[in-house]
Structure 1
């Protein structure tokens, strides 16, 4: 396991470096001029050039990247062009709301998708199976902003059961988490159904049935554990992605998370904040996938660390 972990850590480090190189390069070839945006439209060219020098934008691209990389290794993600605040502090101020939405969204996905996928697999070919798969396809295909606005209109405006967005208690969290759950739950239902059907066709499951074990025991003790492996991989990806912020959902519900911060930075071409948010997101995606890989052998002893 130690060798496997060392290999995965090296791979993860390579992924993070590649992401930083690509993102840094793309941001600095944009047609927008951050120095002009910071100085203001009415600023003279001399003022713009002075701002460009203060921001370090007049240095060669490679020198700027190496300086940024050195700062990241020290835990310094730079300073926002517009807010004059360290990016690390800006991300930290949005971390708790993002973590709350991440955990609630993944929980909704699992509560919706896993039971639906199991029922569909056990009722394969019936109207119930077809109905669940139709609902899963609808959840996957529906745009999150449209689904969010619909829930706000019905459950917050017409039936004032929840607040019209914002951040606060549990009542503010339910609707954005439900939007994530309905969209992601469709994927989980389809993956769970396919995986469980594949496992139920394995020889060891047929042997267990031939021994006279009850169908419930065969499914929940022998088949379900192995069928959850693809789901674990999806959970790892979703945890990392959601921790980077869900821009659409956070914008619709006015949720003050990292996604909203990233969107505001993109609109203002605040490059340090964009770079910090992308680095933060990439780190959590890599970390979550690494944890999912390490959890595989706990679910299926046939999977070895190699």
Structure 2
């Protein structure tokens, strides 16, 4: 096959990747809309449940298709292919977001079914098995999503860069790169109210009002991120209107076992030692 035929084949693969990416984007928009209709307080029609599961399967199929195309382009045809970094970033986010939304969806169905069963038996709803001893969140749904996020952190494939010589998929070890930053913010109730009303997180991040004067959350990082970068994110959230006086604790974690560390139970005592506006980052 000569140079021109290689370029023609690469062009057809790139067009296939673009078309699949557009289809994936449309499927994700529909998937998010349907997932947002599912909540414990609503009656969820069977048709919506079926549609969500079918669209999720379609999304996973499209992700595998795009991954296969990219591996081929960045392996055998890397000299003829120019990466689209923005497209790859969006695809990576779609992959993680779809898993997170589907986990929330399945958990909500479990909660609805459990409540229905216990109502029939006249018992109080309780899901103690979903509440680990050192739960970062008080709501079971948030805690379950956090545990699922930690479990899935290293299951996503990074796209292979064009400067890599090997055609093998790059392995991601659990000694760096991806992580979750647990955060706790403490201060006057009015400051927390204001922060909570304006704080906009990505859909695979979480926040929860733990008490009148405390807000907790988790930020998911799909790349290696420094301590200073995370602290800058928190400072952007808390700038202005008294929110800058909030105290903040940050705990970077990578596995479920990190949630068992005793340090996470000492937040109240640590807050008492801090001054207004202080941010402390701890190593777990």
Q: Taking structure 2 as the reference length, what is the TM-score of the superposition?
A: 0.33
Higher relative contact order (CA 8 A, sep 6+): 1
| Higher normalized helix content (fraction of residues) | 1
| Structure of larger gyration radius | 1
| Higher normalized strand content (fraction of residues) | 2
Q: Taking structure 1 as the reference length, what is the TM-score of the superposition?
A: 0.31
